């Protein structure tokens, strides 16, 4: 039996102690913004008003942000004039105080350090507030415990993602400066750091690679090789580029995924692995392969029937614990939209799922690749090559995906075709580049996509 005074004692934080903050750091950062306009243009989008604990500092920052958004420099006199016109100058500490801020900073040398401290202290304050909210949730005995845990996890993760959040409105001059720096970096390093190759050479030539923040859909009819292609990509990315990869399988369990990876890596057919029908040479291959796979930065999640919110929470936890770079999800139509989509039709639910996955990819700056089924309309026409309208719940997927890759194998429909073991990867949509068709070799025995060039060489 709990007592009300126990409840209030646990929820309340210390009222006699000020929340974590540093007046000195806040003053130093504002002084730097006033001193150096170029540094101010870089810092202001990275900061939010809530990062400042002292109210007058919040007003000064908001004044500087207004100047930047209006295309004006972070000038002392312009700031004082702006605050005076809006009758906020006295509330912001007065003209003498603002002048003192600029005079108290000798250079912008320590700006990044001050920014990091400011952000950490803001996160601590936010964590204190969130802890109180979680405590109040826990005392509500009528609330569903699983929903409470999910909300609590999301709340904590929101605190952790504060560090990644930035002002959405960016002056064009700031965007130009950032793009030029990115262009210089790409030129110096021979490519873009945020793009990863798939391992399929012809596809990489067409699309350049998979980009961080993008939602990529791999679609095809059952048996075309969607899971195999995603596993091949995940294996290549982890092994060759050392990217940390998460793989969510809502259809197959981890053992089945491993079997496919081993089969593709060793050339041993899946049915042999399922039966354990291995000679000594095959056992050696499997043993060596398992050692290699065990060292790869791949995380597996084979929970069935996951809600999109669970996937988001799991991804956020993986990101902060392991630092993932890409996620593969197999497959879209098996994801539950959750309580928020109850009562909506399936197209609306798929739309909400796609938007959630796209949002997570952008927030965490990771590549998100998700498999999708195609409608049966493909089977009813002469030309079996899929198109965007064949996507199940096509409008929702087509709108939110940055790239759509279809898999088509003519020998799946006409075994006597000359296109035996040839798989076409059709780039049906590419928001940032060309579309087209590339051919690969598909070894159905071991569910492996290979480059046609290397296959011809063999």
Question: Given this model, what pLDDT does residue 210 score?
Answer: 92
Question: Given this model, what pLDDT does residue 267 score?
Answer: 85
**Number of C-alpha atoms within 13 angstroms, CB side, residue 448?**
21
Helix (H, G, I), strand (E, B) or coil at 211: strand
Contact yes or no for 455/201 (Cβ under 8 A): no
Question: Given this model, what pLDDT does residue 8 score?
Answer: 43
**Number of C-alpha atoms within 13 angstroms, CB side, residue 101?**
31
Q: Which of 367, 287, 277 is nearest to 324 (CA)?
A: 367
User: Cα–Cα distances in Å, from 374 out to 220, 359, 423?
Assistant: 6, 24, 17
- The label of the residue with tokens 């000064």 reads 60
Q: Which of 410, 396, 406 is nearest to 435 (CA)?
A: 406
Is cis: bond before 330, omega within 30 of 0? no
Domains of the chain, earliest start first: 4-172 (1.10.860.10), 195-457 (3.40.50.300)
Contact yes or no for 426/408 (Cβ under 8 A): yes
Rounded CA separation 174/170 (Å): 6
Q: If the chain, 458 residues long, is cut into consecutive pieces of 10 residues, what is the mean pLDDT of each piece?
A: 44 65 93 88 85 94 88 88 92 92 85 89 89 86 79 73 56 66 63 79 91 93 90 93 93 89 86 83 88 90 88 85 90 80 72 88 91 85 85 76 92 80 91 92 87 61
Give the pair of three-digit tokens for residue 407.
């898999």
Question: Given this model, what pLDDT does residue 148 score?
Answer: 80
Q: Evaluate if pTM is beyond 0.75.
A: no
Contact yes or no for 362/350 (Cβ under 8 A): no
Helix (H, G, I), strand (E, B) or coil at 304: coil
């Amino acid at each position: 039996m709990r007592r009300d005074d126990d409840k209030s004692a646990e929820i309340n934080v210390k009222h006699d102690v000020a929340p974590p903050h540093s007046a000195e750091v806040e003053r130093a950062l504002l002084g730097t913004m006033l001193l150096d306009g170029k540094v101010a243009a870089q810092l202001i989008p990275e900061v939010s008003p809530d990062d400042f604990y002292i109210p007058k500092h919040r007003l000064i920052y908001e004044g500087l942000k207004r100047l930047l958004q209006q295309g004006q420099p972070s000038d002392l006199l312009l700031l004082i004039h702006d605050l005076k016109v809006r009758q906020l100058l006295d509330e912001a500490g007065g003209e003498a105080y603002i002048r003192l801020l600029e005079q108290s900073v000798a250079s912008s040398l320590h700006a990044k350090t001050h920014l990091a401290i400011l952000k950490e202290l803001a996160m601590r304050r936010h964590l204190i507030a969130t802890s109180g909210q979680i405590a109040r949730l826990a005392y509500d005995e009528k609330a569903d415990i699983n929903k409470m845990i999910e909300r609590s996890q999301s709340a904590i993760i929101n605190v952790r993602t504060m560090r990644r959040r930035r002002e959405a409105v960016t002056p064009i001059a700031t965007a130009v400066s950032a793009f030029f720096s990115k262009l210089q970096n790409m030129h110096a390093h021979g490519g873009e750091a945020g793009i990863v190759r798939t391992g399929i050479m012809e596809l990489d030539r067409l699309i350049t690679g998979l980009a961080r923040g993008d939602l990529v859909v791999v679609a095809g009819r059952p048996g075309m090789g969607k899971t195999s292609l995603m596993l091949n990509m995940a294996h290549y990315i982890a092994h060759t580029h050392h990217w940390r990869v998460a793989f969510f399988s809502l259809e197959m369990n981890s053992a089945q995924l491993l079997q496919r990876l081993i089969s593709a890596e060793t050339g041993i057919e899946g049915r042999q692995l399922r039966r354990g029908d291995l000679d000594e040479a095959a056992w050696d291959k499997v043993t060596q392969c398992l050692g290699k796979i065990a060292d790869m930065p791949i995380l597996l999640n084979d929970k069935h029937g996951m809600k999109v919110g669970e996937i988001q929470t799991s991804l956020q936890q993986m990101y902060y614990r392991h630092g993932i770079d890409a996620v593969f999800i197999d497959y879209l139509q098996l994801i539950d939209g959750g309580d928020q989509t109850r009562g909506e039709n399936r197209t609306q639910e798929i739309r909400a799922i796609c938007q959630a996955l796209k949002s997570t990819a952008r927030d965490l700056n990771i590549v998100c690749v998700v498999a999708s089924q195609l409608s049966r309309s493909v089977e009813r026409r002469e030309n079996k090559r899929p198109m965007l309208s064949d996507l199940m719940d096509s409008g929702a997927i087509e709108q939110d995906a940055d790239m759509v890759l279809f898999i088509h194998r003519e020998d799946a429909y006409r075994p006597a075709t000359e296109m035996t073991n040839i798989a076409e990867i059709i780039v049906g949509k590419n928001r940032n580049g060309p579309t087209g068709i590339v051919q690969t070799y598909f070894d159905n025995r071991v569910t492996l996509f290979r480059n046609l060039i290397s296959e011809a060489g063999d």
